[in-house]
Amino acid sequence: MSGPLFFAALMLLVFAFGIAVFWQESRRMQQPEAIYGVEDSIEFIWDALGEDKLGLKKSDVRRILEWEMHYLQKPELWEGDGQPIVGGEAAAAYTQEQSLEEGHAYEPEQIYAVMDHQAEYLNAIGAVGDIVEPGE
């Protein structure tokens, strides 16, 4: 008698697990994830820079994005300035300093143009959400 009862309980557990997985996946599909692609972002920015490209090459766009991401990913670089902001003044200053150390002199207009178009890219892929206050 306990054999059929155990089997029924096991089947009920498997069925409940299947429903839970299905429910979780259906929720995930309702909220598509924003996937940042480095190459996609470079192409987006490159196209958005216009005809003259502000004197930049694709390698320059990549370098500017890499230094900005380096800044954003290292709390010890920005914690004195408050929360880091993509395309913010502190990120741009850090990017310019690091680029100069590598022998690449970018004008602030070039750096800000790349960062502004990066913000457009992030918005286009749905990676920009509502403003969150610190502590929330």
What are 78-105's pLDDT values in tens digits?
888 777 888 889 999 999 999 999 999 9
Which tens digit of pLDDT belongs to each residue from 121-131? Answer: 998 888 877 77
| Residue 25 and residue 65 in one domain | no
Give the side-chain half-sphere CA count within 13 A for 120: 14
Which tens digit of pLDDT belongs to each residue from 5-50? Answer: 777 777 777 777 777 777 776 665 565 667 888 899 999 999 999 9
Q: What is the reported pLDDT for 32?
A: 63
Asked whether residue 22 is assigned to any structural domain, the reply reads: yes
Q: What is the reported pLDDT for 120?
A: 92
When divided into structural domains, the chain yields a total of 2
Q: What is the reported pLDDT for 21?
A: 73
| Residue 27 and residue 67 in one domain | no
Q: Would you give the end-to-end CA distance of the chain in angstroms?
A: 54
- The structure tokens listed for 5 are 């009862």
Rounded CA-CA distance 44/105 in Å is 23
| Residue 69 and residue 100 in one domain | yes
Q: What is the reported pLDDT for 7?
A: 74
The whole-model pTM stands at 0.70
Q: How many other β-carbons are positioned within 10 Å of the β-carbon of residue 18?
A: 10
Domain extent for 85: 38-124
| Residue 7 and residue 47 in one domain | no
Q: What is the reported pLDDT for 110?
A: 96
Rounded CA-CA distance 62/68 in Å is 10
Cα dihedral across residues 101, 107, 108, 114: positive or negative:
negative
- Cα 109 to Cα 76, 113, 125, distances in angstroms: 26, 6, 24
Amino acid of residue 15: F
| Residue 57 and residue 117 in one domain | yes
| Residue 27 and residue 72 in one domain | no
Residues 6 or more apart whose Cβ sits within 8 Å of residue 22: none
Q: How many other β-carbons are positioned within 10 Å of the β-carbon of residue 121?
A: 21
- The structure tokens listed for 38 are 């480095």
| Residue 7 and residue 49 in one domain | no
Asked whether residue 129 is assigned to any structural domain, the reply reads: no
Asked whether residue 15 is assigned to any structural domain, the reply reads: yes
Asked whether residue 60 is assigned to any structural domain, the reply reads: yes
- Report angle CA 57, 89, 35 to the nearest 5 degrees: 60
| Residue 54 and residue 101 in one domain | yes
| Residue 108 and residue 76 in one domain | yes
| Residue 70 and residue 15 in one domain | no
Q: What is the reported pLDDT for 24?
A: 72
